[in-house]
Amino acid sequence: MADRLNGYRILILETREEAQFSRLLAEQGADVLQCPMFTIHDAPDSAPVEAWIRRFIDKPCDDMVLMTGEGLRRLIKVVRRIGVEREFIAALGKARKFTRGPKPGRALREIGLEPQVTTEKPTSEGIAEMLSRIDLNGHRLGLQLYPDKDHGALIGAIKVQGAEVDTVLPYVYDAQAADANIVTAIDEMAQGRVDAIALTSSGQVRRIVEVAQAHGCEQRLREGLALTPIASVGPVVSDELRSLGLRTDISPANDGFFMKPLISAMAAALGKTPPRNATGPR
């Protein structure tokens, strides 16, 4: 598959694990235009996170729901800082572990653990639907949250099943710091300098539209996207695009909503025409 994207300029909107995506694209010869969408910071007040960790060690939860790989990695950073890594991993090993999509599963494997169940739909609604089929009555359930999302419906759905929910939010986003990067990326698309934009989460779609609206360049964004093939990792992203009046041009087959199948789909679709820098805007 070497150099299948040689010469193509691919825009990616960096979030939690886009460094890996960038590396995979570069391995296929792509010229990767990276657009950081926000900066991730540890929770500004570490006391609630530390208290949650110590509760989890003292009385391990029956179940643990990991929403993001970033969240688990931030928790591990804290447990190492306070010197309880061995105890925390042992407690986590006792819990039944649910992951929202494959990324938290990869983070678990980094510390020698495996998820028992991974959601088919990598969304909060997917987590709620999965847990609704499981008896949680009387269970203590740890729930790792992520920023910029109202998790009230998910927490309520779990409590209705008779579980006690103990939540932790180990990191925050600094979105404003990246606005200029996004506006620059919009200009690059509008000027016909991008061969494709690759989207791997619905949050990326919402974020680029919100920034465009805030900076008075939504029309320029839509003009740029009209010129630029839009690659979506799967149906959740495609649904978000559709809800905002946008389309999906490239998507992997139904059995592979991951980075590598997306790259293969992009290579197959883009290979039908030469890169823009070879022909000028098309």
CATH code for the domain of 95: 3.40.50.10090
Q: Are residues 191 and 129 in the same domain?
A: no
For 20, other C-beta atoms within 10 Å of its C-beta total 12
Instruction: Give the CA distances from residue 237 to residues 82, 207, 243, in Å, rounded to whole numbers and listed in that order.
Output: 38, 12, 10
72 and 50 in contact (C-beta within 8 Å)? no
CB contact burial 79-115 (16+ within 10 A = b; e otherwise)? beeeebeebbbebbeebbbbbbbbbbbbbbeebebeb
How far is residue 44's CA from residue 270's CA, in Å, rounded to a whole number?
Answer: 43
Each residue's pLDDT tens digit, 175-208? 676 788 899 999 999 999 999 999 988 889 998 9
pLDDT digits (tens, 9 = 90+) for 145-161: 988 778 999 999 999 99
Residue 4 lies in a domain: no
pLDDT tens digit sequence for 222-265: 999 999 999 998 898 999 999 999 999 999 976 555 788 898 99
Residue 81 belongs to what domain range?
A: 42-171
Do 238 and 208 lie in one domain? The reply is yes
| Residue 197 bridge partners (DSSP) | 11, 230
- pLDDT by residue (tens digit) across 36-58? 877 788 999 999 999 999 999 99
Q: Is residue 1 part of a domain?
A: no
Burial classification of residue 216, based on how many CB atoms lie within 10 Å of its CB (0-12 exposed, 13-18 middle, 19 or more buried): exposed
Residues 275, 226 within the same domain: yes
How large is the average pLDDT for residues 163-185? 89
Residue 2 lies in a domain: no
Residue 2 has pLDDT above 60, yes or no: no
pLDDT of residue 279: 46
Contact 62, 134 (CB under 8 A): no
Domain ends where: 124, 146, 171? 171
pLDDT mean across residues, the chain: 90
Residues 140, 25 share a domain: no
What is the model's pLDDT at position 1? 42
Token readout for 85 is 């890594």
Residue 3 lies in a domain: no
Beta carbons of 137 and 164 less than 8 angstroms apart: no
For residue 211, tell me if it sits in a domain: yes
State which of 116, 147, 171 marks the end of a domain: 171
* 142 backbone dihedrals φ, ψ, rounded to 5°: -85, 135
Same domain, 66 and 167: yes
Residue 21 lies in a domain: yes
Residues 152 and 253 in one domain: no
In a domain, 16, yes or no: yes
Same domain, 52 and 146: yes
Question: In angstroms, rounded to a whole number, what is the distance separating the alpha carbons of residues 153 and 11?
Answer: 34
Residues 208 and 262 in one domain: yes
Does one domain contain both 118 and 187? no
Q: How far apart are CA 52 and CA 238, in angstroms?
A: 36
The answer to whether residues 24 and 85 belong to one domain is no
What's the total number of domains in the chain?
A: 2
Domain boundary among 171, 201, 224: 171
State whether 165 and 264 are in the same domain.
no
The per-residue pLDDT for 48 is 97
**Structural domain contains residue 201:** yes
Residues 49 and 122 in one domain: yes
pLDDT over 70 (residue 86): yes
